[in-house]
A and B are shown apart, each in its own frame.
Chain A
Amino acid sequence: MSLAGFEIEVERTGATGLETEEMTLNMGPQHPSTHGVLRFVVKADGEVMREAIPDVGYLHRSIEKISEKVGYHGFMPYTDRVDYVAAMFCNQGWGMVCEKLAGIEVPKRGEYCRVIASEFNRIASHLLSVGTMVLDIGAATPFFHAIREREKINDLLEELCGARLTYNYMRIGGVAWDLPPGFAEKSIAFLDAFEPLIDEYNDLITYNTIYLGRVADVAAISRADAINYNLVGPNLRASGVKYDVRRDEPYSIYPELEFDVPVGSGEEGTVGDCFDRYVVRIREMVESCKILRQCFKQMPAGPVIAKVPRKFKPPAGDAYVRVESARGDMGWYAVSDGSEFPYRCKVRTGSFAAMAIIDKVSRGLMIADLVAVIASLDIVAPEVDR
């Protein structure tokens, strides 16, 4: 039988060689590697992206508007929902900005409780980030190693405040409860078991050749770009800027604690590539362990919360505070008009800036690298939309 008339054109060539066509792809809003609900419109030529335009807003819950309706104390549980992976920092940010407005000082033990809760939360958040990054790239096993340890931290935090994700632990003026009996011993036991595991992560993931092939030299962000786009936290430090709010604009009891600020050095490729952003998080977990050990050693006795009136009416004015969240410098801006309700509240989160830079860094990358970029920037979609 003749196939004449059924030939398929397999290759089209033009004057400049092989002819190609741009194609528009839709990634998301429901996609397992977008860490929440967000959407990208990808213009690609074959496997190479011309651009990836983020489309956000699917998780906009108008948290800032809610603050204007529920009052200062009542807003605390809502702050958990800003970034549910690292809710302690949102609690702390709101607490700190209210304390700054009203000039309240938190008792020493309250500050220690805050730092202990936050640093545990930082480890948990980084574990999730590292675990899902490896999962997104295609390795399923290390994810469980990370999540297993995160569960143990969740257990500890549950003991502390009764919740595993949306903690609502802090209050304006301190924290809701002191550490439960036996918490310090359990925490030290956890740290003793956890610290050697970081070597396990390094063996399993960090220096794995296949993994390095996917993340080294991919989507390097220069120091100048990182600052210009206002990247913060681990993403900024990966680009070689040694800046940590805890060290450089100290708040709470961080001046009393000793810790290093790991920065990206381009050890496996270029400074500020996906590998640097990943490895900075691994090293920050080690530092958090150090901080936690010091906290349990130095913690004084005393009250955990200052006397704050139930009808909380800070004097009129505005205040801005920076908190080093797991996703970096989180800015809380609040305006008071002297009434019981905040006049305006604004959260500038780490993921927000990280989302804005994707459009730029994705140009010229392969489509498969987009998930590595999103994961390495540690984007949590609700934090972008609020």
Chain B
Amino acid sequence: MDAAAIHQRLKARFEAGVGDCDLQAKDPFIRVDPAAIVDVCRFLRDESDLQFDSLSNETGVDYKAKGVIEVVYHLYSYPHRHAIVLKVDAPRDTPVVPTVETVWKAANWLEREIYDLLGVTFEGHSDLRRLLMPEDWIGHPLRKDFVEPEEYHGISTRRESLLR
């Protein structure tokens, strides 16, 4: 099933919860309202003609100028061999998105990583802890306005350039 058909199925079922579909993009994507994301994902997984049984990738992108953090879901269906991309916008100062861990277990670690590096809180997540950075790290490194601290536990993060 192609992106336009998937968008129609979703639009018919969820109406306002599902936004536009960009068919011109390299990978066509559908915008989804944060409040509807879990139901949309469950619908995409369970319908027999959609069967998106795998969450290939979930990541976040910080759009500082727009004031949003975009959470991007790349879904794939093994039975039907088709793919779709979902995008959810969360406000940058209080980014909260419901977790899809209940739909795909793969989301557990992917969301922990997004929480760690971009500071998006996933509501209802079973184990929302930092994944890659140390537990006492301050800030979220992949945010565009992140400033690297000068030292961490007395270890300097600065190094003189050797090329001079």
Contacts and interface: CB of A to CB of B under 8 A. Distances in A.
Interface of A: 56-57, 60, 62, 64-65, 100-101, 225, 227-230, 241, 243, 248-249, 317-320, 322, 329, 331, 333, 335, 343-344, 346, 348, 352-353, 355-356, 360, 385-386
B81 interface: yes
A360 B126 CA distance: 14
Contact of A230 (B27, B106, B117): B106
Given A56-B131, A57-B131, A333-B74, A318 B142 contact: no
Nearest to A343: B61
B9 interface: no
B141 interface: yes
B106 A353 contact: yes
Contacts of B61: 318, 335, 343-344
B27 A320 contact: yes
B27 A243 contact: no
Contacts, number: 82
A317 B56 contact: no
Contacts of B109: 352-353, 355-356
12 contacts: A225-B105, A227-B53, A228-B53, A228-B104, A229-B105, A230-B54, A317-B25, A318-B72, A320-B27, A329-B56, A346-B57, A360-B105
B134 interface: yes
Given A56-B132, A60-B132, A333-B59, A320 B81 contact: no
The 5 closest A-B pairs by CB, nearest first: A230-B106, A356-B109, A57-B132, A348-B57, A319-B26
A101 B59 contact: no
Given A243-B78, A320-B26, A320-B27, 15 more contacts: A60-B133, A62-B141, A64-B142, A101-B26, A227-B53, A227-B54, A227-B78, A228-B104, A228-B105, A230-B106, A329-B56, A333-B57, A335-B61, A344-B142, A348-B56
Interface string B43-69: 000000000011111010110000000
B71 to A, nearest CB: 12
A320 B57 contact: yes
A333 B72 contact: yes
A335 B131 CA distance: 23
Nearest to A336: B26
Contact of A331 (B53, B56, B132): B56
Nearest to A54: B109
A296 B44 CA distance: 43
B120 to A, nearest CB: 14
B85 interface: yes
B59 to A, nearest CB: 4
Given A57-B134, A65-B142, A241 B27 contact: no
Main secondary structure of the interface of A (DSSP, over half): mixed
Nearest to A249: B81
B56 A230 contact: yes
Nearest to A348: B57
Given A100-B26, A230-B104, A319-B26, A57 B133 contact: yes
A343 B57 CA distance: 18
Given A60-B133, A343-B61, A344-B61, A356 B25 contact: no
B108 A356 contact: yes
Contacts of B110: 348
A331 B57 CA distance: 7
A319 to B, nearest CB: 4
Contacts of B25: 317-318
Nearest to A353: B106
A385 B109 CA distance: 12
A346 B25 CA distance: 18
A65 to B, nearest CB: 6
Nearest to B146: A65
Interface string B21-42: 0000111000000000000000
Contacts of B26: 100-101, 317-320
Contacts of A65: 141-142
Contacts of A62: 141
Nearest to B130: A57
Contacts of B62: 344
Nearest to B61: A344
Contacts of A333: 57, 59, 72, 74
Contacts of B130: 57
Contacts of B142: 64-65, 344
